[in-house]
Structure 1
Amino acid sequence: MTNLAHYDIVGSFLRPAELKQARAEFKEGKLSKNDLRALEDKLITDLVAKQKEVGLQAVTDGEFRRGFWHLDFLENLNGVEGYHPQAYNQQFQGTNAPAYNVRVVDKLSFNFDHPFLKDFSFLKEVAGPEVLAKATIPAPTMLYRQEVLANDGTSKLSEVYPDLNDFYHDLAKTYSDAIQAFYALGCRYLQFDDTNWAFLVDEHKRADLKAKGIDPVEATKISRQIINEALANKPSDLTVTTHVCRGNHASSWLFSGGYDQIAPDLFATDYDGYFLEFDDERAGGFAPLKYVPAGKRVVLGLVTSKRPQLEAPAELKARIKEASQYVDLADLALSTQCGFASTETGNKLTEADQWAKLKLVVSTAKEVWG
């Protein structure tokens, strides 16, 4: 596993107003694809420089080329299509995400011309040799959740995969191939973003699953199975982590619940590390961390990306100390609980607030770990 710093980032950054305007003009046909990409290249280059200036040792492209943290990747897999549902079930607290989704329409496989590969190559070039270029993609379990657990009646999965075990295997193989494709381009730090685990801890969602005849305990084990099959052939010098997300759109959220019910299976996945949200009471306590195997990295998401107010360093240090009762301090790290813009809308804070949050993460971590 790559030797990572004790401070890190989840991945997404607030989109500059210039980029939002350009993307709007592109959708209206007023700006060419090449002109949009040229602007994205410039803004990503600027963003990487700012990340280095803050002191980050792993940098991302801020997801500046995406509209959604997950859909842009998933709809470019073979066998998946994007579509506009009549009713969209991603109802955040106080707001809704834009009505767009994906579904499986044919046998799954990885698209080796996937646009994210070109995007990563650009990031690696501008990152240079002194920092890690970090790629972020949605976890395979996002398609499992979408098609099986949260099926809203628009799924065509049963037509393509009458046997769900075939779906699980093809999904894992698709991601296994994706891992190899990123690795071949020089990627040594890859993150799977995943709201499925948070879906499975939410008591309301668990009740919904039971009402549909789905056992949430079994669903948790299937999630572990898919992920571990996807990671089975991971190169030894590639770090793959996961971010367990509770929903992040316009400073709102989707799911609540502690990690207790999923911890044995979540921490039995073959990831090298786990980004866990602990920025408010919805996440519960640190006790489930007792299931984390020794040597695995746990990145504590104690600094919220949803609000501009800065956390007190003393409070952050106290919570890190509390978490160290369950995971060795050497295996802990600090980050924001999520990115700043999982959708291009972005959270309700300014770019200045965003950088202040990251400076707080870095400075606090250096005080704790040196």
Structure 2
Amino acid sequence: MSSVYRADHVGSFLRPTELLETRKAGAGNVREIEDRHILRVLNRQKEIGLDAFTDGEFRRTNFMSDFTDAVEGFDFGDAVQRKWNEEKKEGAGAAVSSINGIVTSALKQRQPLTGREVPFMREHAPGPIKITLPSATQFPAISFKYGITDKVYRDPYAMLEAVTAIMAEDIRGLATSGISYLQIDAPRYSYYLDPKWTAWMEKELRVDPAEMLAASLKADNACFAAARHPDVTLAIHLCRGNNRSHWYAEGGYDAIAERFFHELAVDRFLLEYDDERSGNFEPLRLMPQGKTVVLGLVSSKRPELERKGDLLRRIDEAAKHLPLEQLAVSPQCGFASTMEGNLLTEDQQWAKLQLVADVAREVWG
């Protein structure tokens, strides 16, 4: 039976300078520093009043490195290039990490995906444990390169099947490990919202977008089926890119809402809604009963703190399309999808999370 988490967050937090510098230097005490700062952010989440607890993804270099660290077959020396857009002028010139390795050999899992995270969280989390994983659909778009990957997997569909098989088998065990909340991060669905990216799929990935959408839904559902457990809430998060306060896609949910909402076997959809790039709330009318939409109204990209009154007004607008009991609130994405993090301070991050918790209490009690 899924739980209701009204004050939610996507998972990653800004890394402290000490951790970034230690990791960059290759020092041997990284685990000790990770542990200390994870305990600190667990305590902050409790103080703020958030409903589920993550380790901030502090043990990862980016939101999907738990997979690429655990699975052989990726080469990070030859990434697929992608154009990012600055969130605002102050962000121009900020370095944007390359986080996508190319698959150059058969994928083979060598260690549990979250084996470094779950045991510590089971021992120290002060409440429900939330674990995030990248969607299997993330990898064909960024890790398949013609002339290289197709020597191993004939096309992006075959690679998607291979990633899904590894992911689903790992998730099967994760669901019984003591976690309460599993979230799959699936930014590639944003390609179907933005005409320039559907065109890119046809030209560069050489797939039919409609066929790839069907294959993507099937892949994620295979993972959710493996994760389905009476004590675990299942969620999917969709954003339009989040790297050093940059983004790459735009467009409302209209193009995929009906299939996305109805076909995915999840309890919660964490949806980006922090500005006009996300469209309006009208697609929420297509959400079936029994599923929750977490409104990502607070920006993790911009340092300015939103006004509570504005968030309350926007929740009221969303409630015109979906009953209030099917809604929750969160930031629109993580604060550090890559370990370098977005262009704001830790104090600004915690102020935004406090606002999320305060709004949730005011709206839902």
Report the TM-score when normalising by structure 1: 0.90
The Cα RMSD (Å) is 2.1
Aligned pair 1:63/2:57, yes or no?
yes
SS at match of 1:135: strand
Q: Which of 117, 120, 125 matches 2:118?
A: 120
2:89 is matched with: none
User: Normalization by structure 2: what TM-score?
Assistant: 0.91
Query: Which of residues 42, 49, 69 is equivalent to 1:48?
Result: 42
Whole-angstrom distance in 1 between the partners of 2:245 and 2:158? 37
Deviation at 1:180, TM superposition (A): 1.6
Aligned identity (percent) is 37
Per the alignment, in what secondary structure is the counterpart of residue 341 of structure 2? coil
Choose the corresponding residue for 1:137, options 133, 136, 150: 133
The amino acid of 1:120's aligned partner reads V
The CA deviation string for residues 161-214 of structure 1, in whole angstroms up to 9 with x for no partner, is 337655444333222212122123212211111111112211211122334553
Counterpart residue type for residue 50 of structure 1: R
Change over 3 Å in CA distance of 1:99–1:355 after alignment to 2? closer
Contact 2:62 2:99 in 1 (8 A): no
Given that 1:109 and 1:171 are in contact with CA atoms closer than 8 Å, whether structure 2 keeps it comes out as: no
2:274 counterpart letter in structure 1: D
Q: Distance in 2 between matches of 1:49 and 1:216?
A: 44
1:87 Cα deviation after fit: 6.1
Map of 1:221 onto structure 2: 214
Structure 1 residues 244 and 38: alpha-carbon distance in aligned structure 2, compared to 1, 3 A threshold:
same
For 1:317 and 1:107, how far apart are their aligned partners in 2?
49
Change (3 A) 1:115 1:138: closer
Aligned length: 356
Q: Distance in 2 between matches of 1:4 and 1:361?
A: 15
Letter in 1 for 2:14: L
Assess if the C-alpha contact under 8 Å between 1:110 and 1:177 holds in 2: no
Partners of 2:305 and 2:218 lie apart in 1 by: 39
Counterpart of 1:51, as a letter, is: Q
Residue among 286, 289, 294 paired with 1:294? 289
Q: Which runs of 5+ in 1 are unaligned?
A: none
Residue 96 (structure 2) pairs with residue 97 (structure 1)? yes
Aligned to 1:264: 258
2:319 matched residue in structure 1:
324
AA aligned to 1:199 is Y
Alignment partner, residue 361 of structure 2: 366
Residues 228 and 360 of structure 1: CA distance in aligned 2, closer, same or farther (over 3 Å): same
1:83 maps to amino acid: F
Q: How far 1:227 moved relative to its partner?
A: 1.0
User: What is the CA-CA distance between 1:86 and the residue it aligns to?
Assistant: 6.2
Q: Which amino acid aligns with 1:217?
A: A
Residue pair 1:78, 1:109 contacting (<8 A) in 2 also: yes
Letter in structure 2 aligned against 1:262 = I
Q: Does 1:12 align with 2:12?
A: yes
Is the contact between residue 241 and residue 274 of structure 1 (CA under 8 Å) also seen in structure 2?
A: yes
Q: Secondary structure at the match of 1:308?
A: coil
Of residues 60, 84, 88 in structure 1, which corresponds to 2:81?
88
Deviates more, 1:348-357 or 1:167-176: 167-176
**What is the aligned counterpart of 2:268 among 265, 268, 273?**
273
